[in-house]
Amino acid sequence: MCGICCSVSFSVEHFSKDLKEDILHNLNRRGPDSNKQLLKSSGSYQCLFSGHVLHLRGVLTAQPVEDERGDVLLWNGEVFSGITVEAEENDTQIMFNYLSSCKNESDVLSLFSEVQGPWSFIYYQASSHHLWFGRDFFGRRSLLWHFSNLGKSFCLSSVGSQTSGVASQWQEVPASGIFRIDLKSASISKSLVLKLYPWKSISGENVIKECVNSLIQISANLPTCVSVVANEAKLYLKEPVAPLNMVLPQAPLTIPCSNIASVPSTRETLQVFLTDGHMKEVVQQFIDVLSIAVKRRVLCLPRDENLTSSEALKTYDRKANVAILFSGGIDSMVIAALADRHIPLDEPIDLLNVAFMTKEKTVLTGFNKKRKKQKSHCEIPSEESSKNGAAAGDDNSPDKQFRVPDRITGRMGLKELQAANPSRIWNFVEINVSLEELQELRRTRICHLVQPLDTVLDDSIGCAVWFASRGIGWLVTQGEAKLYQSSAKVVLTGIGADEQLAGYSRHRVRFQTHGMEGLNKEIEMELGRISSRNLGRDDRVIGDHGKEARFPFLDENVVSFLNSLPVWEKANLTLPRGIGEKLILRLAAVELGLTTSALLPKRAMQFGSRIAKMEKNNEKASDKCGRLQVISLENLSIEKEIKT
CA distance readout (Å), 347 to 106, 303, 481: 44, 10, 21
Cα separation, 544 vs 28, in Å, equals: 9
- Helix (H/G/I), strand (E/B), else coil: 131: strand
Catalytic positions are: 2
Gap between the terminal Cα atoms of the chain: 38
* Main-chain phi, psi angles of 54, to 5 degrees: -100, 110
Give me the half-sphere count of Cα atoms (radius 13 Å) on the Cβ side of residue 560.
13
Cα separation, 339 vs 332, in Å, equals: 10
Cα separation, 344 vs 83, in Å, equals: 26
Cα separation, 379 vs 383, in Å, equals: 12
Q: Hey, what amino acid is at 444?
A: T
Cα separation, 524 vs 180, in Å, equals: 28
> Which of 177, 182, 181, 157 lies closest to 169 in space, CA to CA?
157
CB atoms within 10 A of CB 618: 6
| DSSP annotation string for 44-70 | S-EEEEEEEE---SSS---SSEE-TT-
Instruction: State the helix-helix crossing angle for 556-564 and 277-299, rounded to 10 degrees.
Output: 170
The sign of the torsion formed by the CA atoms of 584, 590, 592, 594 equals positive
Read off the DSSP letter of residue 36: E
Q: 466 has which bridge partners? A: none
* C-alpha 324 chain-centroid distance: 12
Task: Sort strands 144-147 and 119-125 into parallel, antiparallel or unpaired.
Answer: unpaired
- 3-state percent breakdown (helix, strand, coil) of the chain, nearest 5: 40, 20, 40
> Which of 435, 425, 534 lies closest to 486 in space, CA to CA?
425
Cα separation, 277 vs 111, in Å, equals: 40
Report the run of H or E that residue 199 belongs to, with start and end: strand 192-200
Cβ atoms of 355 and 314 closer than 8 Å: no
